[in-house]
Amino acid sequence: MRGHGGTLTIESEPGRGTCIRVMLPVGTRKPGATASPTTSSSRMWQGTGTVLVIDDDGAVRLIASRILERMGFTVLTAENGAVGLEVFRARRDDIAFVLLDLTMPVMGGEQAFSELRRLRPDVRVILASGYNEQDATNRFAGAGLAGFIKKPFTIDGLGAVIRATLAHGSRALDGRDHRR
- Domain range holding 114? 50-167
45 within a domain of the structure (yes/no) = no
Q: Go through 96-114 and write b for each residue having 16 or more CB atoms within 10 A of its CB, e for each that does not.
A: bbbbbbbebeebbbbebbe
29 within a domain of the structure (yes/no) = no
Tell me the pLDDT of the chain averaged across its residues.
Answer: 82
Selected residue with higher pLDDT from 101 and 19: 101
Q: Are 129 and 82 in contact (CB under 8 A)?
A: no
What residues pair up with 177 in beta bridges, in sequence order? 171
Which pLDDT belongs to residue 7? 72
CATH number of the domain that residue 82 is part of: 3.40.50.2300
CA distance 93 to 89: 9
pLDDT band at 17 (very low <50, low <70, confident <90, very high): confident
Average pLDDT over residues 55-83: 94
pTM, to two decimals: 0.71
132 within a domain of the structure (yes/no) = yes
174 within a domain of the structure (yes/no) = no
Per the structure, how many domains does the chain have?
1
